[in-house]
Amino acid sequence: MGRDVEFKKDLTDEIKKNADDLIVKVNQLLLRAKVSGIECECNPDTGTSVSSGWRPPAVNKAVPGAAIRSNHMTGKAIDLYDPEGVLDNWCMSHQGAMAEIGLWMEHPSATKGWCHLQSVPPRSGNRVFYP
């Protein structure tokens, strides 16, 4: 999204490492979804399937309803474009795959239009949680 350039001073090596780790895991999950016929969609307005990736503090502050300590700020969370909830539904019925890979998701009822995945457990430890 170009934030690595615009907010270069906020992008630490640790965040980069977190994001690399997250992307590997999310790609593993998407590969499994693809095998069952679920394709990640691109948003026609942006040309990418990523609705929100890394959020520097200034960006996170401007996101309505974003958590103050959002995992998006540390490169540990991603929102994927999911207008019909197809990916959300697939993840809900494949929580074992998420557990094997090491991903957690926000409950689809809280993420209408996108699928939030993260590489750290929420405080509850639940694979699927309410933000």
Interface residue list for Zn ion (CB under 5 A)? 79, 116
CB of 72 to Zn ion, least distance (A): 6
CB of 11 to Zn ion, least distance (A): 18
User: Cβ closer to Zn ion: 25 or 116?
Assistant: 116
CB of 70 to Zn ion, least distance (A): 7
User: Cβ closer to Zn ion: 33 or 78?
Assistant: 78
Amino acid identity of residue 38, one-letter, is I
Contacting residues for 124 by C-beta, under 8 A, at least 6 apart: none
Residue among 94, 123, 12 at smallest CA distance from 115? 94
State the residue for tokens 């996101």. Answer: 63
Contacting residues for 98 by C-beta, under 8 A, at least 6 apart: 29, 91, 104, 105, 117, 127
CB closest to Zn ion, residue no: 116
Structure tokens at 21: 């780790």
CB of 5 to Zn ion, least distance (A): 22
Q: CA-to-CA distance for 39 and 48, rounded, in angstroms? A: 13
Cβ atoms of 65 and 106 within 8 Å: the answer is no
User: Cβ closer to Zn ion: 81 or 90?
Assistant: 81
User: Cβ closer to Zn ion: 79 or 88?
Assistant: 79
